[in-house]
Amino acid sequence: MKKIYMLALMAMLIPFLASAQLSITGKVIDQATNQPLAGASVSNGSISVQTDVSGKFAINDLQEGRYTLRVSFVGFNSWTTTFNLNRDRDFAISLDRISISAEEVIVRATRASVSTPTTFKNLSKADLEKNNLGQDLPYLLNQTPSVVVSSDAGSGIGYTGIRIRGSDPTRINVTINGIPYNDPESQGTFWVNLPDFASSVDNIQIQRGVGTSTNGAGAFGGSLNIQTTTRNDTAYAELNNSIGSFATRKHTLNFGTGLISGKYTLDGRLSNIASDGYIDRGTSDLKSFFISGAYYGKNNLLRANVFSGDEKTFQVWNGVPEAKLKGDNDALLTHYYNNIDYLYYTTEDSVNLWDSDKRKYSQFTYENQTDNYKQTHYQLLYNQTINPELSLNSALHYTRGRGYFEEFKNKETFEGYGLNPLDYGATAGQETDLIRRRWLDNDFYGVTWSLNYIPVSDFNVTFGGAYNEYDGDHFGDVIAAPQLGLRSIKNKYYDGNGFKKDLNFYLRTEFVAGKTRFYSDFQYRYLDYSITGTDKNLVNHNLNNFHEFFNPKVGVSYQPGKSSSIYASLAVANKEPNRDDYINAIAGEQPKSENLKNVEAGYRFNSSKVRAGLNLYGMFYKDQLVLTGKINDVGEYIRLNAANSSRLGVEFDGRWNINHSLSWAATATLSRNKIKDYTEYMDDYDNGGQAVKTYHDTDISFSPSFIGSNELAYRLMKNAELAILSKYVSKQYLDNTSHDDRSLDAFFVNDLRIRYNTSFKKIKNIGLTLLVNNILNEKYESNGYSYTYLYGQPITENFYFPQAGTNFLLSLSLKL
C-alpha cells in the first residue's frame, strides 16, 4: 500500500507537458588550431550538455526568454554570453587556451572526463546544497547509483557509512583536491572527523569500479574525488541555520572576500552541528572550520587550505540485539544469559536491556562512553601553466590527528592490562571496574604532482604521482578504577606504532582517431609498512611488509552521434591488507594482498531533455579479504583471503527534463555478488576450538541484488520546488553464508523536500528548505553484523542498526 500511495502521489504531480519550440545550437573550437573541442560543457543555467566529437551541441525545446549561455573546457578560458531567445540561435564559439590557471586543472589528473571509458557521476555544489541540512556527506550521495548509506545513531549524523556496489569504505578511495583522505592503516574513511565538510565542497566526482589512477589506497568498489572551494570573484557572506528532530541543530557561517586587486581571494567557514540522535544517547557534538587563501598570477595559481574537525560522539556502534529488536521476552532472556559475561556486566546494563525502547536501545550506560577525535588538514596547492600545451600541478600536505575513545569495563583485573594490582590497592587476580582510553596519535604528510601535456585537442598525456608517509602511535591508558576509589590513574598499558611509506607513479594518455577515443592508464605503486611495539592485546610486534603493484587500465570510447557514446574498459587494481589483518594474523599465515580485474562497458546519451547511461560491469577478485569467524590465538576475529569472488551487474542512471517545471531522475542497479568457495568458522563451546563449515557459490555480505533511487522534482513557481526522493534496497546478508536468518530485510524509504528561494533588498538570497525524511515511517535497518557459535546447537547472534522513522530538518539560509 505504501508503494501504491507513492506512485499515486507522483502521478498527481505530473502536469500537462508544456510545448516548447526554440533551440540553441553551436560549434566549439580551439581558437589556436581551429580544431573542434569534443566534450566541452555547455549550459544555459538549467540544462547542461556536452559537445560531440565534431564540437557541436544542441539545447532543444526551450521557451522564449532571457538566457545566459556558458561554455567551458579544461585548459581553456570559459566563454559566456547573455541574450534574449525569441528564435532559434546558432553560435560559433572559439575558446582560447588558459592565461590564468583554471581551478579545474588541479583535480583533472585524477578525474574522468565525458569521453573517458569508465563509469562516473559528477555532483556540483548546487546538487549538494539541496540536501545539505546537517547530515554527513554520505547521505548527500544517497541518490547516486549503487550507493547504500547507514548511520550508527540512525539519523545521518555522527558515525555514518557508505557502500558502493556493496564495497565498504575501506575499499572506496577518497581524495580531497587529489590528496588521499583514507586512513593509511585501517584504510577507512571517517566523515565524523569532517563535519559539515559539504559546505566547503565545490564538486565531487564519484567513480564506480577501479576508475582512473589516483593517490592513496586502491579503489576496490569506487572512489570519491572531491574538490573544495574554488575561485569566487564577488565578496559574499552566508549564514545557514538548521533545526530538526532529535534536537538536531546546525549553524554554518560562510564568507569570502571575492577577487582582491585581481589576484587574491580568501574564503572561510565555521560550523557547529549537534544532535541527540535517534538511538538512545546517540549524541554528537561536532565542530569544524575551513580557511582557503589563493593567489592568481598570469600563468599560475597558489592556494593554501586549512580545515579541521573536532568530534565527540557517544558510542552506539554495538547495535541492537535481534532478540531485543524482533524477539519476545523468552528470546531476550536467552540472549541475556548467553551473553551475560560479555555484554551485560552491571545491574544498570541489565535493566537497560529490558526497559529501553526496542528500536532505540543503546547498550552502553556509562556517561562518558564517548569517541573523541580532532583532525586538522593543511594543503598547499600550486598550478603553473608553463605554456599553452603544458601545465604542472603539485601539492604539499600535512594532516595532524589525535584522539581516543573511552570505555567502562567491569570484572577486569590489573594483570589483564599488564599492571601490578598491588600498586593500586588491589589483590592478585581481584576483579574490579576499570575505565580505559584507547588513543590514536598520527601524522600524515607528503607531496602529490602531475604534469599535463595537451599539444592538440585530440591528444593529451598526464604523468603524475605521489609520495606520502604516515606515522601513527597506538596506545592505551587505564585512567580510573571507581570501585576502588581510584579516579586519577593514567597508566599506559600498551604502546605501538605503524609507519607507512606510499609511492606511486602513473602515466595516462588519450588520443582521438575519427569518432574513436583510445585511453590508457598505467600505475606503479610501492609500499613499505612497519608495525612495532605492543597492541591492545599486549602482543608485541616487529613486522615489516613490502608491496609492489602494477595497475594497468585500457579503454576505448566511440561516438556514433552528437548525443551518444559507447565505451568499454579493462582495469586492474591491487590492494594491501590493513593493520588489523597484519597484527591479528595467525603466526606463519600472513595475509595476501588483494587483486581485482574490472571490466566496464556502457552507453551514454545526453541531450537537452534526456541524460541517461547504461553500464555493465564485472569485478573479479582474487584473494579478497573477508570475515569468516576465524579467531587468532588471543580471540580476535580475523579476515582470510577468499580465492575467487566476483560482482556482476548492470547500472542505469538517467534524468528526464519533462518540461520547464518537472524533472525525473532515477538510478537502478541489478547485480550478482558471489564467493566461489567460502569457509565459516564457529566457536565450539561444547568441544573447544572452532567448528568448520564450507559453502559454495555463496552471496557476498552487504551486497543487495537490487538498489534503486528516484527523484521527482516539480517547480511550483519560479523560486519554489517540491521533490519526492525514494530509495529501495533489496535484502542484504550480514555474513557470507547466504542464510536468510542472518540478513537485513529489504527497505523502501521516501523523503520529501520543499525549497523556496527569494531575495530582499541587499540580501541576495533567502533560502528556506524543509526535508522530511522517511515520510511513510518505514521501520528498517541498513547495517548490522552477525556471529554464530555452537552451544548444544548452533546459535546465531544478529545485531542491527535501526534507522529513524519520520523526522525532519528545516533550514534557513541568508546570502549577502
- At residue 388, the pLDDT reads 81
User: 236-319+362-815 domain in CATH 2.40.170.20?
Assistant: yes
**If phi over 0 gives left and psi between -120 and 50 gives alpha, with beta otherwise, what is residue 759?**
beta
In the numeric block, which cell numbers belong to residue 614? 547504461
CATH class of domain segment(s) 21-97: mainly beta
- Across the chain, mean pLDDT equals 91
| Residues forming a β-bridge with 708 | 668, 728
Alpha-carbon gap, residue 554 to 523, rounded angstroms: 12
| Residues forming a β-bridge with 608 | none
Q: Residue 195 — very low, low, confident or very high, per pLDDT cuts 50/70/90?
A: very high
Compute and round to an integer the Cα radius of gyration of the chain: 27
- At residue 5, the pLDDT reads 45
Greater model confidence, 44 or 774 = 774
Mean pLDDT of 175-187: 95
Assess whether pLDDT exceeds 50 at residue 784: yes
Greater model confidence, 624 or 99 = 624
- The whole model's pTM is what? 0.89
Kindly report, as residue ranges, where domains of CATH 2.60.40.10 are found in the chain: 21-97
Instruction: Decide the pairing of beta strands 564-575 and 594-606.
Output: antiparallel
Assess whether pLDDT exceeds 60 at residue 216: yes
Assess whether pLDDT exceeds 90 at residue 387: no
Reported as a single tens digit per residue, the pLDDT across 407-420 is 999 889 999 999 99
Q: At how many degrees (to 10) do helices 347-355 and 329-339 cross? A: 150
Q: Output the CA–CA distances (angstroms, integers) from residue 427 to 415, 433, 477, 483, 488, in the order listed.
A: 10, 14, 20, 14, 19
Q: Give all strands (DSSP E) within 388-431, no chain letters.
A: 390-412
Q: Residue 43 — very low, low, confident or very high, per pLDDT cuts 50/70/90?
A: confident
Residue 642, class by beta-carbon neighbours within 10 Å (0-12 exposed, 13-18 middle, 19+ buried)?
buried
- HSE of 457, CA atoms in CB hemisphere, 13 A: 24
Q: Residue 345 — very low, low, confident or very high, per pLDDT cuts 50/70/90?
A: confident
Alpha-carbon gap, residue 220 to 597, rounded angstroms: 10
Cell 592505551 belongs to 476
- Collect all residues with Cβ–Cβ distance below 8 Å to 278 and sequence separation of at least 6: 153, 154, 155, 245, 246, 360, 802, 803, 804, 807
High-pLDDT (> 70) share of the chain, %: 96
Alpha-carbon gap, residue 538 to 534, rounded angstroms: 5
Q: Are 804 and 229 in contact (CB under 8 A)?
A: no
Q: Residue 10 — very low, low, confident or very high, per pLDDT cuts 50/70/90?
A: very low
In the numeric block, which cell numbers belong to residue 572? 586492474
Strand (E) or helix (H) holding 583: helix 579-583
Name which of 114, 125, 144, 112 is nearest 227 in CA terms. Answer: 125
Reported as a single tens digit per residue, the pLDDT across 750-772 is 999 999 999 888 888 899 999 99
> If you ran DSSP here, which 8-state letter would residue 455 be given?
E
Assess whether pLDDT exceeds 90 at residue 702: yes
> If you ran DSSP here, which 8-state letter would residue 607 be given?
-
The residue type found at 580 is D
| Residues forming a β-bridge with 480 | 435
Reported as a single tens digit per residue, the pLDDT across 571-622 is 999 999 999 999 999 888 889 999 999 999 999 998 888 999 999 999 999 9
Q: Output the CA–CA distances (angstroms, integers) from residue 604 to 69, 567, 624, 706, in the order listed.
A: 23, 8, 31, 21
CA angle 688, 693, 698 (to 5 degrees): 145
In the numeric block, which cell numbers belong to residue 686? 561444547
Assess whether pLDDT exceeds 80 at residue 8: no
Alpha-carbon gap, residue 282 to 152, rounded angstroms: 8
Alpha-carbon gap, residue 359 to 609, rounded angstroms: 44
The residue type found at 360 is K
Assess whether pLDDT exceeds 50 at residue 544: yes
Alpha-carbon gap, residue 254 to 229, rounded angstroms: 11
Alpha-carbon gap, residue 149 to 801, rounded angstroms: 12
Q: Residue 14 — very low, low, confident or very high, per pLDDT cuts 50/70/90?
A: very low
Assess whether pLDDT exceeds 60 at residue 12: no
CA angle 372, 162, 360 (to 5 degrees): 65
Q: Are 807 and 244 in contact (CB under 8 A)?
A: yes
Mean pLDDT of 120-131: 92
- At residue 104, the pLDDT reads 61
For 173-204, the DSSP string reads EEEETTEE-S-TTT----GGGSTTGGGGEEEE
- At residue 115, the pLDDT reads 78
- At residue 13, the pLDDT reads 44
Name which of 90, 118, 289, 262 is nearest 651 in CA terms. Answer: 118
Alpha-carbon gap, residue 433 to 502, rounded angstroms: 42
Strand (E) or helix (H) holding 271: strand 264-275
Reported as a single tens digit per residue, the pLDDT across 62-117 is 878 888 898 987 667 788 888 888 888 999 999 887 644 456 667 777 788 877 88
Assess whether pLDDT exceeds 60 at residue 199: yes
- Helix/strand/coil for 371: strand
Alpha-carbon gap, residue 277 to 83, rounded angstroms: 50
Assess whether pLDDT exceeds 90 at residue 732: yes
Reported as a single tens digit per residue, the pLDDT across 319-328 is 999 999 999 9
- At residue 631, the pLDDT reads 87
Alpha-carbon gap, residue 615 to 602, rounded angstroms: 4
The residue type found at 231 is R
Instruction: Decide the pairing of beta strands 22-30 and 89-95.
Output: parallel
- At residue 539, the pLDDT reads 93
Give the 3-state DSSP-derived string for 429-461, with helices as H, strands as E and coil as C: CCCEEEEEEEEEEEEEEEEEEEEEEEEECCEEE
- Helix/strand/coil for 424: helix
In the numeric block, which cell numbers belong to residue 346? 552491571
Q: Any idea how long the chain is?
A: 816
Kindly report, as residue ranges, where domains of CATH 2.40.170.20 are found in the chain: 236-319+362-815
Residue 17, class by beta-carbon neighbours within 10 Å (0-12 exposed, 13-18 middle, 19+ buried)?
exposed
Reported as a single tens digit per residue, the pLDDT across 572-582 is 999 999 999 99
- At residue 751, the pLDDT reads 98
Mean pLDDT of 686-710: 95
In the numeric block, which cell numbers belong to residue 334? 536467552
Q: Output the CA–CA distances (angstroms, integers) from residue 95 to 37, 75, 197, 459, 545, in the order listed.
A: 9, 10, 34, 17, 50
In the numeric block, which cell numbers belong to residue 202? 565545490
Q: Output the CA–CA distances (angstroms, integers) from residue 218 to 177, 203, 313, 351, in the order listed.
A: 17, 22, 29, 46
In the chain, how many H helices and how many E strands? 8, 42
Mean pLDDT of 271-291: 97
